[in-house]
A and B are shown apart, each in its own frame.
Chain A
């Protein structure tokens, strides 16, 4: 469906939180990665898409977001709690 603009920002926040909780995503503050134009969030989205057998695009498309919104266990998918 068309995405309502403020919705997009909300969904990006939601996805960031999801990847932090379950895929050990840490938003890099350092500008180094930014200069290298590495997108750690896209990497983590790819990791999550690969885990769930989704098409690995690194983009937050609606199927990926819908999977993130499914009720689930609070344990990470790739790392135990510290």
Chain B
């Protein structure tokens, strides 16, 4: 609880929804909040009643940046919402950061309003944060399936320490009189929520694939990129890390660096000057800086200028000198101008017509020491960036000191 354990001195608590997020249908906002209240009323004697005007105990609103209290929101990511412990005026109120993408379902590119509201209403009722991983009152947002979400025991213990157990069978939140006045806001543009996409989980076949040996002559890669002077080779969920600072190759997994990223990248490249690496999977891409995934990702690859007919890319490589990034799709390639953030005219072009000696698709591409390396299966092709001429052919894992 909060210091001095503030709580509501009554069992009937009112709430009012002051405004709505344009990210969701109003009805979905109301349902998410009602469900969140029901989580708490089902384990306590509390009853929650929605009112449509005047002062309610718990005033719920969406806002961004500075919004009238001393705790401004911080744009996408970071702080998602906050709420005040029971008390008069701002006491009990819950504020949601409108700069987030609020969703009805748990998806990987938005925050479940139900989950965050349930957490914030815990504060509105007097609970502080829990350090029990998996508890609803744990401070960090944990995406999870909310269809038949059950309140974790730690949260039940906490709220019952304040209000005791329910007397009669769990009460559904009672609706107040139908609104006498039109709702506070003109209905926002209804946004049709995307049906919940399957959570991008790492493909976990019955038997997890074994990491291939470093010097397996058939070793091929999904994607390769530099990162702050190091080189990372990706295959499935595995990463081979080659660092100029250490002689041996480090063996990692994608989830050890970026827990929320899916396995099985299609392509990756670094824009060194921006300390930024982009990962591609299917028709989405993510941007990371070190271990941090930039907020607002993933984004559709069409944002980069690909036509909708392109559903995934095979490889990508950035040329720091020209500020151009080459994307390889099938037997063609595109050139993307990182300065203007747009595709160059006259593309796509055939790979074979510009890169002599590269007569096939490219699985992965790397730029190192002023040369391009195009990977195809267990082979790689070293190409001079300027002349685009083939210099030599090697095994893909020649970087592993085999």
User: Chain A residues in contact with chain B, CB under 8 A?
Assistant: 1-4, 7, 21-22, 51-53, 62, 65-67, 69-77, 79-81
Contacts and interface: CB of A to CB of B under 8 A. Distances in A.
A80 B228 contact: no
A61 to B, nearest CB: 11
Given A1-B228, A62-B290, A62-B291, A75 B83 contact: yes
Contacts of A52: 131, 140
Contacts of A72: 78-80, 139-141
12 contacts: A1-B227, A3-B290, A7-B289, A21-B79, A62-B290, A67-B140, A70-B140, A72-B80, A73-B120, A75-B139, A77-B131, A77-B139
Does more than half of chain A's interface fall in helix, strand or loop, or is it mixed?
A: loop
B82 A74 contact: yes
Contacts of B290: 1, 3, 7, 62
Given A7-B275, A65-B291, A74 B81 contact: yes
Contact of A66 (B229, B230, B292): B292
Contacts of B71: 74, 81
Interface of B: 2-3, 70-71, 73, 77-85, 97, 100, 111, 116, 119-120, 123, 128-129, 131, 133, 139-141, 227-230, 245, 275, 289-292
A67 B142 CA distance: 12
B244 to A, nearest CB: 9
A69 B119 contact: no
B85 A73 contact: no
A81 B84 contact: yes
A69 B227 CA distance: 20
With most chain B CB atoms within 10 A of its CB, the pick from A3, A4, A69, A73 is: A73
A2 B84 CA distance: 40
Given A2-B228, A3-B290, A73 B3 contact: no
A67 B289 CA distance: 15
A52 B131 CA distance: 6
Given A71-B111, A75-B123, 6 more contacts: A21-B79, A51-B131, A72-B139, A72-B140, A74-B81, A77-B129
A51 B128 CA distance: 13
A60 B369 CA distance: 33
Nearest to A71: B141
Contacts of B97: 74
A1 B129 contact: no
* Nearest 6 CB-CB pairings of A with B: A74-B82, A74-B79, A80-B2, A70-B140, A71-B141, A2-B228
A30 B329 CA distance: 61
A7 B71 CA distance: 26
B81 A80 contact: no
Greatest chain B CB density within 10 A among A1, A21, A76 is at: A1
A56 to B, nearest CB: 13
A73 B79 contact: yes
